[in-house]
Structure 1
Amino acid sequence: MEQDSLSVVEICAGAGGQALGLEKAGFEHELAVELDANASATLRANRPWKVAEGDVADSTVWNPEDHRGIALLAGGVPCPPFTIAGKQLGATDERDLFAWAVEQVAVVQPRALLLENVRGLSMPRFAGYRQHVLDRLTSLGYMGEWKLLQASDYGVPQLRPRFVLVALKPEDAAYFTWPEPQGPPPTVGEILLPLMKSRGWRGADAWKHKANKIAPTIVGGSKKHGGADLGPTRAKRAWAEMGVDALGVADEPPGQERDDEWIPKLTTEMVSLLQGWRPDEWHFTGRKTTRYRQIGNAFPPPVAEAVGNSIRMALEHEGIPAERAASSHDPIYKALRESGDFLTPTQLQRAVGRPIEPPELERTLSLLSRDFDLDVRESRGSIAYRLGTFKAFVGQDEHSRHEVFQKNRGRIS
């Protein structure tokens, strides 16, 4: 089918942080796919987009082939498989949809791909996973590149690193450059003062001077855990230093009945400002905890807009083209994958082109074995390794992901 020049399909769209940013960058949503009913309701409440509600990997929810040739396939697939605070199960986590999303490039054949996730995916633990993604994109005719972006570089008053993957066809990739930082963001006190004063709290001005930093990462949490609060112990300490009670979220700003020394909690409206939404530009549906989770789990709109602008300019061939070198994240993975056969440590060193100390090899192979089948063969006192199947769900009908997903569906968010 013929597509609009800047059409986008967004998977795992959440409550619309990435969607709003991409819209501001000039993209038009052809479809948004989201599992959570409350987030889907928020999307529908704000824009007349077509929203498909349900498991993004369920062919009865949407058909990727219907959107072949769009400009951009985008999404913020689930973070728990990679988060530093979690077990980092990666490819063996039933919530992992990153590899599946990359595989949809073969079906949809977009001009560009944009996927974002948590900083944990940038760690050595997932070097092989990242290399697999890049190699798969190369095989599909795309040039992929990862980059860790700090939300605070794009006007968001929050320490929120996001790991972003962008892939384009070579003729467009030559024009792609990552967005430049835009200068320091406002502080928590500066951006929240109007709301803190809105009900007559006399201590608001003094509070603003105390809250003269940017926020720690706002954690939306999941359905597995209790109500809304502003994160783990370290984050709570940081909030306390700024005069914010992080043990929960308030229904409304402090009123004139509160004394000057009152330590306020944030409202969901305040949290949305700290995530980069402008006042009154987006309405979140549902009860307070649900709204907080939607906001806290979002990709900040200004970051999505900045990356979206860079992708748009590449698709429109703005600027001066430049050669792009292929990224390399795990040379040991690459050597094993390209060989397809058993390699001894000596053969691996020769393929990599440098010495590999036994502890490094042991550590790398241990990490690879968590996301890939790893065959080990011993013969005449020599040991050799062969990289086998990628364990991640990429659409297999018989994959264990289906049963586990259905069992835990009510707790996945």
Structure 2
Amino acid sequence: MKRTITKRTRPSFVGLFSGCGGFDLGFVQAGFHCVAAFDYDAEAVATHRKNLGGNVYCLDVTQNSDQVVTAVSQADVLVAGPPCQGFSTIGKRALNDPRNSLLLFVADVASVAKPKVVVVENVAGVLSPPHDRYWRQLESRLRRAGYTCKTIRFAASDFGVPQTRVRVMLIGTLSGAELHIPLHGGAAPTLRDILHGAESFSNHHPSVLQPGSAALEIAKRIGQGQKLCNVRGGERSVHTWHIPEVFGHVSDVEREVLQTLMRLRRQLRVRTFGDADPVSAEALSEALNRPCKRHLNSLVRKNFVRRVGDLYDLTNSFNGKYRRLSWTDLAPTVDTRFGQPRFFLHPEHHRGFSVREAARIQGFPDDFEFEGSVESQFRMVGNAVPPPLAASVARSIRDSEF
């Protein structure tokens, strides 16, 4: 006889690829009992156990599928956050990344264990071709196993999480019922509110830029909402040629050449991929209405410009480093680099963020303590599902009867 998840029975779940427990914490906060949780990262498992207790196992689930299936068969819900590195747009997005197939492992476990609900989370890039084939196979395998599936895109900021994080979830129900999952769970606070007082709690050891360092001189030039960026114009981009104490001096004429090159490399496209191409000296001279070859050669010597065959392009062509967050804006997606000042700067201080600050932006409570090295702690926070988002989904499942 099928059990029914009702308000009268405490529902249960198993966490798969649980990491430090962000996804699982949301379900616990919603009143679920954790039957078991699995991850291969020993430090993440230690953090999970410290904060959530219960039966958490450090193992490779693909090599211990019988143990996983046994646990899932005793639970109402399977909650899974398979690795996203192969799908993320900030990574290499290798189509054959072996971690991509772990999505399908979730479907295979569910097909045998038959939990009533399956919840799978990943980055939005999992829906972009050609990588979307894995998500489509996940849905297909679950449907063949009898699940009714629905894929939903979530903005974390709609659930009180102050960042621009967008994620997708697949919700599969064995009963055929389609759950109503709200797409809004409360306005996000400002960063000023969310970061206030973080220094009073554990895991607060921010990376401070050292006096006399080039990084500190760069940070001094970056205002709130700005970044070091040579490939975009506008007030949000601070260019290397505007920080002479670090990158060297250029003349007014050379600065004009650089600004023109920045613009033309995106306008005079040759390739069908990427977002910019090198530019010829002739095109630059025509745009400036004067010869510029001598100035280009000077800028090459000063390392502001590089030669690409007979063409020219900017050096330092990354789309933004040293991003200084704003007190009044949302944070970008909290990722594993959030403690490194060369990627993210505190709105006011010349430093990166602490683990506690990153955890707050993710929605972790202050009594949630992270174990392991600082690098590992940032990896745990960046890879986690924001608990407030997880809790909202969990409450919707809890309050459904099917």
- Quickly name the TM-score band, shorter chain normalised: 0.5 to 0.7
Tell me how far 1:270 sits from its aligned partner: 0.9
Q: What residue is the counterpart of 2:14 in the other structure?
A: 9
Distance in 2 separating the partners of 1:123 and 1:60: 29
Distance in 2 separating the partners of 1:139 and 1:2: 19
- Cα deviation 1:101-153 (Å, max 9, x = unaligned): 11111111000001101110122333433332222211111101111111111
Alignment gaps of 5+ in structure 2: 4-8, 205-223, 225-324
One-letter code of the match for 1:189? R
State which of 137, 151, 156 in structure 1 corresponds to 2:156. 151
Distance in 2 separating the partners of 1:285 and 1:80: 22
Q: What residue is the counterpart of 2:33 in the other structure?
A: 28
Q: What residue is the counterpart of 2:114 in the other structure?
A: 109
State whether residues 70 and 109 of structure 1, in contact with CA within 8 Å, keep that contact through their aligned partners in structure 2: no
Tell me how far 1:69 sits from its aligned partner: 4.7
Distance in 2 separating the partners of 1:35 and 1:218: 22
Secondary structure of residue in 2 paired with 1:62? helix
State which of 144, 147, 156 in structure 2 corresponds to 1:142. 147
State yes or no: 1:118 paired with 2:222: no
RMSD (CA atoms): 2.9
State which of 360, 366, 374 in structure 2 corresponds to 1:273. 360
Distance in 1 separating the partners of 2:30 and 2:52: 16
- TM-score, normalization: structure 1? 0.61
After superposition, residues 7-406 of structure 1 pair within 5 angstroms as 7-59=12-64, 62-90=67-95, 92-96=96-100, 97-171=102-176, 173-174=177-178, 176-195=179-198, 211-220=327-336, 228-229=339-340, 236=343, 239-240=344-345, 243=347, 262-280=349-367, 282-314=368-400, 316-317=401-402
Count of aligned pairs: 277
The percentage of aligned residue pairs carrying the same residue is 30
Secondary structure of residue in 2 paired with 1:74? strand
Cα gap change, 1:69/1:184 in structure 2, threshold over 3 Å: closer, same or farther? same
State whether residues 99 and 133 of structure 1, in contact with CA within 8 Å, keep that contact through their aligned partners in structure 2: yes
Distance in 2 separating the partners of 1:60 and 1:110: 15
Tell me how far 1:23 sits from its aligned partner: 0.5
Cα gap change, 1:19/1:42 in structure 2, threshold over 3 Å: closer, same or farther? same
Tell me how far 1:61 sits from its aligned partner: 8.2
Secondary structure of residue in 2 paired with 1:265? coil
Alignment gaps of 5+ in structure 1: 200-206, 222-226, 245-261, 318-413
Distance in 2 separating the partners of 1:40 and 1:51: 7
State whether residues 189 and 213 of structure 1, in contact with CA within 8 Å, keep that contact through their aligned partners in structure 2: no
Cα gap change, 1:290/1:167 in structure 2, threshold over 3 Å: closer, same or farther? same
- Cα deviation 1:227-268 (Å, max 9, x = unaligned): 9527xx8xx4xx55x636xxxxxxxxxxxxxxxxx4243211
One-letter code of the match for 1:129? Y
Q: What residue is the counterpart of 1:324 in the other structure?
A: none
Tell me how far 1:197 sits from its aligned partner: 8.8
Cα gap change, 1:310/1:290 in structure 2, threshold over 3 Å: closer, same or farther? same
Distance in 2 separating the partners of 1:138 and 1:2: 19
One-letter code of the match for 1:177? H
Distance in 1 separating the partners of 2:72 and 2:187: 39
Distance in 2 separating the partners of 1:142 and 1:194: 45
State whether residues 45 and 58 of structure 2, in contact with CA within 8 Å, keep that contact through their aligned partners in structure 1: yes
Cα gap change, 1:108/1:197 in structure 2, threshold over 3 Å: closer, same or farther? closer
Secondary structure of residue in 2 paired with 1:39? helix
- TM-score, normalization: structure 2? 0.63
Tell me how far 1:63 sits from its aligned partner: 3.9
Secondary structure of residue in 1 paired with 2:67? coil
Distance in 1 separating the partners of 2:119 and 2:26: 12
State whether residues 31 and 52 of structure 1, in contact with CA within 8 Å, keep that contact through their aligned partners in structure 2: yes
Cα gap change, 1:287/1:275 in structure 2, threshold over 3 Å: closer, same or farther? same
Distance in 2 separating the partners of 1:60 and 1:117: 21
One-letter code of the match for 1:11? L
Tell me how far 1:210 sits from its aligned partner: 5.0
